[in-house]
Structure 1
Amino acid sequence: MVPSMAFCNSGEFIVAKLGNFFCNFVRFYFAINIESMKNNKVQYLPIRARSKDESEVLDLYLVNICNIVDALDLENSKYSVHEIDENEKMISVQKYAIKGSVIKDIDLFRLKDHYI
Structure 2
Amino acid sequence: MKRYLCIMRKPAHSGNSVQEMLDIVLTAAAFDQPVSILLLDDAVFHLKHGQSPEKLALKDTAAIFKALEIYDVTEIHIEQESLQERGLKTTDLCLPVRLVARNAVAGLVKQFDVIFAG
> What TM-score do you get using the length of structure 1 for normalisation?
0.27
Q: Of the two, which has the highest radius of gyration?
A: 1
Higher relative contact order (CA 8 A, sep 6+): 2
> What TM-score do you get using the length of structure 2 for normalisation?
0.27
Higher helix share: 2
